[in-house]
Amino acid sequence: MSNYQTPGVYVEEVSTGAKPIGMVGTSTAAFLGAAPRAGAHVGKPRPCHNWSQFVADYAEADSTSNDLAVAVQGFFLNGGGRCFIVNTGTEADLAGGLEALEAFDEIAIVCAPGQGDAAAYEAVLIHCEKLGDRVAILDFPADAEDLEALKKVASASGGGSGFRPRSSEDGYGAVYFPHLIVRDPFDPSRTLDAAPSGHIAGIYARTDAKRGVHKPPANETVRGALGLKKLVSRAEQGELNKAGVNVIRFFPTSGIRVWGARTLADEASEWRYINVRRLVNMIKESIEEGTRWTVFEPNDMTLWKSVERNVRAFLTLLWRQGALLGETPEQAFFVRCDDETNTPESIDAGRLITEIGIAPVKPAEFIVFRLGMIRPDEDQG
């Protein structure tokens, strides 16, 4: 309480109780693989902000390109701005690298470029599902060219030659096909085959910056791609799309583009679109960080109303940005934090429970125009 003794005007700072929830970043990627300089910072995640820094930290003047180097360059070419590098070294310790990444909350995308075996798929997917705040971008093996075999393996659980992992029921992984043809980062006079995960991660970052994480990272140009190792037709893509394989296509008038936005979840799953999975990841982590102040606060109606107000304000902002579907906020989401969600039993257990429901936007994947013939003298009103 202030001590007012002298006549005059007093201005005091008073807390309004509002604690805005900010959106966490969604564009930071992590790349795991053997670096061109095998002994550089082995097993230690290190931030990287541009291609020059990667060369300085992980390569030498006479270095030879490999999957990791091509992926990192592709990430920056396509709009990526910050990533973490884990040099798995000559022992290819993917499990150890993934474990080291668990300490970095800002990572939202995980890639193991060129590692197309079932064991690598499983390790990366389990990592993303365990943490619940990141997604995996997976590569098919470079020799995966037989479309019939690819469709059979893509629709199976593991199996076959191990092209594809088990179904990720909650959509924490996406796989892209085919490999790209790019210039050698260390010798631009040469071209080579490149696993697309690094380029795709850059497209995720570019789309997030231009439109937001709710926009599907598809129908986007793949920068740095000179060609594709396999040209996939529209009919062939139809079969792959149903199996959750995102195809990279060449179009004569618009170039090489990502032409899919599916996850590895089943076709009927609510998590079958990568933008939905990533949007929900962002919302979960943003609310978690933005409401951390509530821990150890008195668990009463005042706290419940504060939480409900702050979460509602955050979701309203997302709705205005076009991330949630509905003509009004009431149609796009609901937030409940009251005496119904917080019963005496939950309060005694030290829990504050808030129920949130959202309606995320989904991509217009199949555009249908219905055309019909009319006679010139028919009434068209």
Structural domains of the chain, ranges and CATH numbers in brackets: 29-277 (3.40.50.11780), 293-381 (no CATH)
> Under a CB-based contact definition with an 8 Å cutoff, are residues 151 and 31 in contact?
no
Kindly list the strands in the beta sheet with 225-228, ordered across the sheet, starting from the edge strand earlier in the chain: 187-194, 180-184, 225-228
Q: Provide the Cα torsion 219, 243, 149, 257; round to 10°.
A: 0
**How far is residue 181's CA from residue 122's CA, in Å, rounded to a whole number?**
27
- Preceding omega of 196 cis (within 30 degrees of 0): no
Secondary structure of residue 29 in the 3-state scheme: strand
Q: Which of 101, 98, 111 is nearest to 68 (CA)?
A: 111
Give me the half-sphere count of Cα atoms (radius 13 Å) on the Cβ side of residue 76. Answer: 17
Secondary structure of residue 316 in the 3-state scheme: helix
Q: Which of 195, 159, 176, 180 is nearest to 240 (CA)?
A: 176
Could you read off the pLDDT tens digit of each residue along the chain, which spans 381 residues? Answer: 567 778 878 777 766 666 889 999 999 999 999 999 989 999 999 999 999 999 999 998 778 899 999 999 999 999 999 999 999 988 889 999 999 999 999 999 999 999 988 889 899 999 999 999 999 999 988 777 666 656 554 554 444 444 545 556 889 999 999 999 999 999 999 999 999 999 999 999 999 999 999 999 999 999 999 999 999 888 888 888 888 889 999 999 999 999 999 998 988 889 999 999 999 999 999 999 999 999 999 999 999 999 999 999 999 999 999 999 999 999 999 999 999 999 999 999 999 999 999 999 988 766 677 777 877 766 555
Q: Burial letters for 78-94: b for 16+ Cβ neighbours within 10 Å, e otherwise?
A: bbbbbbbbbbbbeeebb
Secondary structure of residue 145 in the 3-state scheme: coil
Residue 3: predicted pLDDT: 75
Secondary structure of residue 137 in the 3-state scheme: strand
Secondary structure of residue 3 in the 3-state scheme: coil
Q: Which residues, in sequence order, are CB contacts of 333 under 8 Å at separation 6+?
A: 312, 315, 319, 324, 326, 356, 357, 358, 359
Q: Which of 39, 37, 33 is nearest to 113 (CA)?
A: 33
Residue 166: predicted pLDDT: 53
- Note the pTM of the prediction, 2 decimals: 0.90
**How far is residue 294's CA from residue 292's CA, in Å, rounded to a whole number?**
5
> Under a CB-based contact definition with an 8 Å cutoff, are residues 63 and 95 in contact?
no
Residue 242: predicted pLDDT: 83
Using CA atoms, how far residue 19 sits from 205, 294, 305, in Å, is 28, 10, 12
CA angle 240, 206, 110 (to 5 degrees): 60
How deeply is 68 buried, as exposed, middle or buried, from its count of CB atoms within 10 A (0-12, 13-18, 19+)? buried
Q: Which of 96, 173, 167 is nearest to 134 (CA)?
A: 173
Residue 228: predicted pLDDT: 95
Q: Which residues, in sequence order, are CB contacts of 130 under 8 Å at separation 6+?
A: 102
**How far is residue 209's CA from residue 343's CA, in Å, rounded to a whole number?**
42
